[in-house]
Amino acid sequence: MEVIEQISLLRNRLAAYRQEHKQTQIGYVPTMGYLHDGHASLLRRAKEQTGLVVLSIFVNPLQFGPNEDFEKYPRDTERDLQLAEAAGVDIVFLPSVAEMYPKPTQTTVSVKGITSRLCGASRPGHFDGVATVVSKLFNIVQPDKAFFGLKDAQQIAVITQMVEDLNMPVEIVPCPTLREADGLALSSRNVYLSAEERSQAVVLSQSLAAAEAFISEHQHFTSEELVEAVKVHIRKATLGEIDYVEALAFPSLEPFTSIDTVTEKRIIVALAVKFSKARLIDNQIFPIRK
Amino acid sequence: MEVIEQISLLRNRLAAYRQEHKQTQIGYVPTMGYLHDGHASLLRRAKEQTGLVVLSIFVNPLQFGPNEDFEKYPRDTERDLQLAEAAGVDIVFLPSVAEMYPKPTQTTVSVKGITSRLCGASRPGHFDGVATVVSKLFNIVQPDKAFFGLKDAQQIAVITQMVEDLNMPVEIVPCPTLREADGLALSSRNVYLSAEERSQAVVLSQSLAAAEAFISEHQHFTSEELVEAVKVHIRKATLGEIDYVEALAFPSLEPFTSIDTVTEKRIIVALAVKFSKARLIDNQIFPIRK
């Protein structure tokens, strides 16, 4: 496994690889590091589907708000490199902030519509930062396939829309969320939870199970009724505060009133819950019975 | 010469070319058609520097304002194809609006700073439209080099900034403006001029010659003094109305007061003059004596 910190060196390395292996695809997993088994599952999937796997680790300041946790975001490069090597990564791209932003960027990539709801409403500017850095990383790595976890479903929706709108020559591969034994979605931010919060955090996945039960029991329902069925469960976490719970058409992330009016084939129930030092997100995508 | 209308066919054709000619670069000239010798000079330069020359002809609705000339913009595909063939073009990409924008784009690429002055001030949203469509075209063609005329100096500045900020894997090659015998910069919009306007339009290039004389005669001067020296000449065109005349540092397009405070090595004098049916632009870039 190679670790490369400079853009120009990475470009040269990948150009040489493409010259030698004309028929082989390059797979790419962009991350902010502090890797867990969820990331490892993306890397293993990339290894199955492509000939060369590039992992990037970059905590992107552009996607953090002024009062968010950029400085405190957990980092452990040594452990990350061990996990990457075990998962079969070929190249780790580990740029500094100065390497990625030698000067303040004048250019922004914005995706409207999709970004105005869910985390976009709670975190203004966040998805512009995501779309801009992912554009940069795609242009640097030029992968054939990029692998993203469905835990950040809105991020996948934004990236997919951007790739489609801008004709980016990359295939986005959504990958299932990995969970702890009790159902908690794996997240780098889970380390922020106290022991008591950790045990209560199970309400996120339980509330999505409640959504599943609600949907299977009801033929016709409103978005509001579904959201309320979810909120009932989350409120059991006395240490957690609901940031949002929303039911939206997927992948457009358009709101709906009655399920009967949704023209897409799937809906997503997505939620964010704030604990003292961690804001956790989770979601589930459901097919619509017609 | 091949003419390709579909994105997927163009991608396949270029992928096949890359497989066969590993060491050869692809050159690209994006245009809105109604080609003239200025475009031909870009195409010839592309032919000299690269192994395969792609020309695109696409009048991009996104970069026209609601009261601008999108519908009336001059088009003559047959003549364009003749000029392209004569200039040695290998592939003409000729997409429809529906091919480029099957759905309204949710994604916008914006470059701030550079776009707020000159044509950006007169044409709000114009450079977002330019940056967005050029991003799309670059992602479709994936050229090694792209050739732009310096007549649209602000466009080159915007594209260069975007390429740098987003790490796009393409080299931007600025090419000199071509002129008629009397100095008028070649432009597709020159056809809009009446005979009398055409003869008066020579004031644009004459005023830039006046700027050159002014700069060579003065060691120290303000931006305002230089601009006034230019305006004096343009006012000789009784049928033309000054849209803007600006002197800025280049390529940052930052305004300056005294020439002594400019930290860059060059300045640009850029101007736009409105005739009855045509708004013409011109500019010249000058080195700074230190």
Task: Please state, in angstroms and as integers, the Cα–Cα distance from residue A152 to each residue in A130, A290, B184, B244, B254, following that order.
Answer: 12, 27, 55, 47, 40
Q: Are A250 and A268 in contact (CB under 8 A)?
A: yes
Averaged pLDDT for residues B118-128: 87
A200: CATH:
3.30.1300.10
Q: Exposed/middle/buried for A271, CB within 10 Å: 0-12, 13-18, 19+?
A: buried
Q: Is there a domain that residue B287 lies in?
A: no
When divided into structural domains, chain A yields a total of 2
Task: Please state, in angstroms and as integers, the Cα–Cα distance from residue A123 to each residue in A16, A65, A116, following that order.
Answer: 40, 7, 9
Averaged pLDDT for residues B8-19: 95
Q: Is there a domain that residue A28 lies in?
A: yes
Our CA angle for B63, B88, B82, nearest 5°, is: 70
B160 touches chain A (CB under 8 A): no
Give yes or no: residues B9 and B111 share one domain. yes
Give the total residue count for chain A: 290
The more confident residue out of B197 and B69 is B197
The string of pLDDT tens digits covering residues B26-43 is: 999 999 999 999 999 999
Q: Are B152 and B146 in contact (CB under 8 A)?
A: no
* pLDDT score of A290 more than 80: no
Q: Which of A142-151, A206-215, B236-245 shows the lowest per-residue confidence on average (mean pLDDT)?
A: B236-245
* pLDDT score of B69 more than 90: no
Active site residues of A: 39
- What's the token pair of residue A45? 């999937």
How much of chain B exceeds pLDDT 90, in percent?
Answer: 88
Is B63 among the annotated ligand-binding positions? yes
Query: Side by side, which strands form the sheet with B145-149?
Result: B2-4, B91-93, B52-57, B26-31, B145-149, B171-175
* pLDDT score of A159 more than 90: yes
Transcribe A247-258 into DSSP letters: EEEETT--B-SB
Q: B110, A108: Cβ pair inside 8 Å? A: yes
Give yes or no: residues B131 and B241 share one domain. no
Task: Show which of B175, B205, B227 is a domain's final residue.
Answer: B175
Task: Please state, in angstroms and as integers, the Cα–Cα distance from residue A143 to each residue in A52, A135, A223, following that order.
Answer: 9, 12, 38
Give yes or no: residues A222 and A171 share one domain. no
Give yes or no: residues B9 and B144 share one domain. yes
Residue B258 backbone dihedrals phi, psi, to 5 degrees: -90, 145
The more confident residue out of A22 and B101 is B101
Cβ neighbours of A131 in B, within 8 Å: 107
pLDDT of residue A123: 87
pLDDT of residue B120: 84
Amino acid at A66: P
Distance CA B125, CA B34 (A): 23
* pLDDT score of B149 more than 80: yes
B131 touches chain A (CB under 8 A): yes
Cβ neighbours of B169 in A, within 8 Å: 11, 139-140, 142
Taking CA–CA distances from B252, the nearest residue in chain A reads: A106
Task: Show which of A148, A175, A202 is a domain's final residue.
Answer: A175
Please report the number of interchain residue pairs, chain A to chain B, with beta-carbon separation below 8 angstroms. Answer: 73
Averaged pLDDT for residues B146-166: 96
Most confident of A233-237, B67-71, B183-187: B183-187
pLDDT of residue A132: 98
How much of chain B exceeds pLDDT 70, in percent?
Answer: 100
* pLDDT score of B290 more than 80: no
Transcribe A66-133 into DSSP letters: TTSSTTTS---HHHHHHHHHHTT-SEEE---HHHH-SS---EEEEETTGGGSTHHHHSTTHHHHHHHH
Give yes or no: residues A194 and A159 share one domain. no
- What's the token pair of residue B20? 């066969």
Give yes or no: residues A143 and A196 share one domain. no
Is B62 among the annotated ligand-binding positions? no
pLDDT of residue A256: 96
Task: Please state, in angstroms and as integers, the Cα–Cα distance from residue A38 to each residue in A20, A30, A171, following that order.
Answer: 31, 13, 20
The string of pLDDT tens digits covering residues A34-65 is: 999 999 999 999 999 999 999 999 999 999 99
pLDDT of residue B201: 96
Strand partners, A29: A55
pLDDT of residue B289: 80
Cβ neighbours of B107 in A, within 8 Å: 109-112, 131, 161-162, 165-166
**What range does the domain containing B230 cover?**
188-280
Averaged pLDDT for residues A171-176: 97
Give yes or no: residues A195 and A164 share one domain. no
Which among B176, B183, B178, B177 has a CA at the least distance from the CA of B198? B183
Best A167, A168, A170, A264 member to test B by mutation, with max B CBs in 10 Å, is: A167
Q: Exposed/middle/buried for B213, CB within 10 Å: 0-12, 13-18, 19+?
A: exposed
Cβ neighbours of A22 in B, within 8 Å: 19, 22
B112: CATH:
3.40.50.620
Query: Residue B78 — pLDDT band, cuts 50, 70, 90?
Result: very high
Give the total residue count for chain B: 290
Q: Is there a domain that residue B32 lies in?
A: yes
The string of pLDDT tens digits covering residues A116-125 is: 888 888 888 8
Q: Are B186 and B178 in contact (CB under 8 A)?
A: yes
